[in-house]
Each structure stands twice: as C-alpha cells, then as structure tokens.
Amino acid sequence: MPDPSVAIVGAGVAGAAAAVRLAERGIAVELYEAVPEPRPIGAGLLLQPTGQRVLAAMGLLNDALALGTRVDRLFGDTPSGRTVLDMSYRRFHLEAYGLGIQRGALMELLWRRVRQLGIPWHCGRAVEGFEQDEEGVVLRLSDGEAVWHSALILANGSFSKLREGMKVAQHARPFPWGAVWTVLPAPPAFPQIELRQRFHSASQMLGLMPVGKAGAGDAEHGINLFWSLPVAALDGWHERIGLDRLKQQMTALFPDVAPLLAGLHDAAQLREARYADVWMSRWHDGRVLAIGDCAHGMSPQLGQGANMALIDAHELAAELGGGRDGWPRVFARYGRRRRAHLRFYGQASKGLTPMFQSHAIVAPWLRDRFFGWGGRLPYIHQQSIATLAGVKTGWLWGRLNL
C-alpha cells in the first residue's frame, strides 16, 4: 500500500510553497485551509535574494519579476534630515536587489503552481486538533471528520493553536506594536526604486515600498504604505483616530507622501497587522513539523517572514534524501539544517524591533546617532545588507548555502 499523504495546514506562503516543493519531489501532499475561498489579499512584501532563489527553483521567479518591482536601496531618515538607514543591495552583490511584490500577486503564483501539480486542496476545512502515533497523524477537522496522514506540517501562522499540541517548549508573545498598511496606486513620477522610511523616535514610522502590479492583467503599479501603531491604538483606530487625522499625522511626518495619500479615501482600504514573536526550542515533534510564521513568527522590521517561509519549504524538500527515511528523521534533519539561520534572524528581529516600534527613548536616540554613521563603514554596511538579504547564519560569520 502506498504511504498516506502528508497534510499541510495553511495555504499561506509557507504552506503553499511547502506543498509545491514536496510535490515536485514526488511526495503526496494535501493542503487544508480554513478560509473557504482564499483570495489574493494583503499588502506588499519585500522578497530578499534568498527568497528569490527559492522562487527560481520553483520556476516562478520570472513571473514574480514581471509582477513586482526591483528595489535597489533602502533609505530611512528623521524629520530633521538625519540619515538612519542607507543600504544598497549592490554592496551585497552587484546583481542583487530586493523584490517588492504584492502579497496577492505572490500567492496567485504559488496557488497556480499548487493547482498545476494537482495537489488536493481542501478550502474551508479548518484543522482543530491532531493526535499522532508511530504510524501516522490523525487530524480533527472543524466539521467533525477525522482524517489520517503519514505526517503533518503546521503552516498556519503565528497565532496557531495547533502548535500547542506539539510536545516542544515554545512561546508566542503578541507584539505590543502593529501597523496599518495598504497598497495605493503610484502617482506619476513617484519614486519606485527604493524602500523609503521616515522615523520620529520609535513611536512614529512611515514606510513606502514599490510593489508592482496586483496581477498579470493589471497596468497600475502600487506603492505599499506602512504606518506603525501601538496595538492599543490599533483596536478601533478608525473611530478613535479617524482616517483624516491619520493622514494628517503621516503628512506631518513625511510631506512627500501627500500625492500618494490622494488615493487613500476610505478607512477600509487600510488593513490592520498584528504580529507575534514565536519561539520554539525545536520545530519538530515526531511526525509533526512547524514551518513559516507558525514556527518562527517575528516582527516585519527585517522584512524576512515570507522569505523565511520560502526557505523553510525549500530546505525541507532538500532533506528528503531517498524519501525512505521516515518523517521523524526527515523533520529532525530539517531542524538541524535550519537552526543557525532561524536563530540568527529571531535574535536580530528581537534586538532591532524596539528601535523602530516602541515608546523607548534611548534606543531610537542611539539609532539616530550611530546607524547612519556606522553604515558608512564598509564592514558594518556589508553586515547590514547581508542581514537584510537573508543570508546570515551568525553574528560574526556564517552564510546560508541554498
């Protein structure tokens, strides 16, 4: 009898990419997604050279490039004109760039590949729990049905409850800050080659990133707008702050954003983002593996979440070996392979985020004085851009080999 299929819970970047990479290696997989009709929604993502390499391995990079926009530089400053960040991908590699892409556009590409590969995809079927034994894993679905699989991959995001069913030390701490974000049509002559940020201390932050088109038939290019807010202000912000006041705050911080904000006329255009810091002592428990945000959710300050999700999928497929090894061993090997990279980015995200989103005074003061200055030193610039590019596996040395 052939092995039963592997269940993947969640059809976001991590789940869809894992389904594709495993199916490409001849593994039978089935996707379970809670949302009845997944639609390509969400704002923009910056995909790093490492994530781009995974897309290339899936044969999707050219399509992603046709939809997205090359981002060559990141520049951030304060209202008084002090440079905080000025990083150019060329300093990492002459050919390197970030790929600004709408989340919906990326998801369409991944889902199209899922369909092409004929992967069974159960939408509107939330997984509520699981039990495993030496033979396999039984999933309990929201409609009461129980289904049996040879292994289970949890890719259902930072706020996964299923993760708690793994016998692994873990915590998921909701981050005290979140954001509102949207994609707006780029006004004529609006700069489209750099990610632009403006900071006031760590309590105000506006980010603009070119993200290309929503779909192949679309002519309009979009700019992703990100506005940081404490979670306490995020709940019910439209009643308490209101769109007009929010736009005034944005323009006061960064007057150049005014032409873009002409396209923001309804509070419903802005999506709320909340994130959590997820830590697990290891990512596998027998026949169950956690990947993507479910395994290592972090704040989006380093622009790595979707990138990491793609790398997880790719590295899992690379550990399949002959495929006769048994899932617990494959998952354990995957964990060893991912450890240094994921630990580095978890620590870097934890260390950097309060400098950009918090009520702290000293950390952003130090940031404003030393980041711009440090970035002019070739070694610091190299390390910073390598961190952004998603390749570092340690503070002093170590590079990811994809």
| Sites of contact with ligand FAD (CB under 6 A) | 9-15, 32-35, 45-46, 126-127, 155-157, 162, 179, 181, 273, 275, 292-294, 300, 303-307, 309
Shortest distance, position 327 Cβ to ligand FAD, whole Å: 20
Query: Toward ligand FAD, which CB reaches closer, 162 or 270?
Result: 162
Shortest distance, position 133 Cβ to ligand FAD, whole Å: 21
Query: Toward ligand FAD, which CB reaches closer, 45 or 385?
Result: 45
Shortest distance, position 40 Cβ to ligand FAD, whole Å: 11
Query: Toward ligand FAD, which CB reaches closer, 193 or 366?
Result: 193
Tokens 């309009």 -> residue: 220
Query: Toward ligand FAD, which CB reaches closer, 123 or 377?
Result: 123
User: Measured between alpha carbons, how far is 298 from 184 in angstroms, rounded to an integer?
Assistant: 25
Query: Toward ligand FAD, which CB reaches closer, 68 or 136?
Result: 68
Shortest distance, position 98 Cβ to ligand FAD, whole Å: 8
Query: Toward ligand FAD, which CB reaches closer, 186 or 306?
Result: 306
Shortest distance, position 127 Cβ to ligand FAD, whole Å: 4
Query: Toward ligand FAD, which CB reaches closer, 68 or 305?
Result: 305
Shortest distance, position 324 Cβ to ligand FAD, whole Å: 29
Shortest distance, position 34 Cβ to ligand FAD, whole Å: 4
Shortest distance, position 329 Cβ to ligand FAD, whole Å: 24
- Considering all CA atoms of the chain, what is the largest pairwise distance in Å, rounded to the nearest integer? 69
Shortest distance, position 211 Cβ to ligand FAD, whole Å: 9
What SS3 string covers the chain?
CCCCCEEEECCCHHHHHHHHHHHHCCCCEEEEECCCCCCCCCCEEEECHHHHHHHHHCCCHHHHHHHCEEECEEEEECCCCCEEEEEEHHHCCCCCCEEEEEHHHHHHHHHHHHHHCCCCEEECCCEEEEEECCCCEEEEECCCCEEEECEEEECCCCCCCHHHHCCCCEEEEECCEEEEEEEEECCCCCCCCEEEEEEECCCEEEEEEEEECCCCCCCCCEEEEEEEEEHHHHCCHHHHCCHHHHHHHHHHHCHHHHHHHCCCCCHHHCEEECCEEEEECCCEECCEEECCHHHHCCCHHHCCHHHHHHHHHHHHHHCCCCCCCCHHHHHHHHHHHHHHHHHHHHHHHHHHHHHHCCCCCHHHHHHHHHHHHHHCCHHHHHHHHHHHHCCECCCCCCECCC
Residue with smallest beta-carbon separation from ligand FAD = 305
Tokens 């981002």 -> residue: 71
User: Measured between alpha carbons, how far is 296 from 300 in angstroms, rounded to an integer?
Assistant: 12
Query: Toward ligand FAD, which CB reaches closer, 347 or 376?
Result: 347
Query: Toward ligand FAD, which CB reaches closer, 82 or 88?
Result: 88
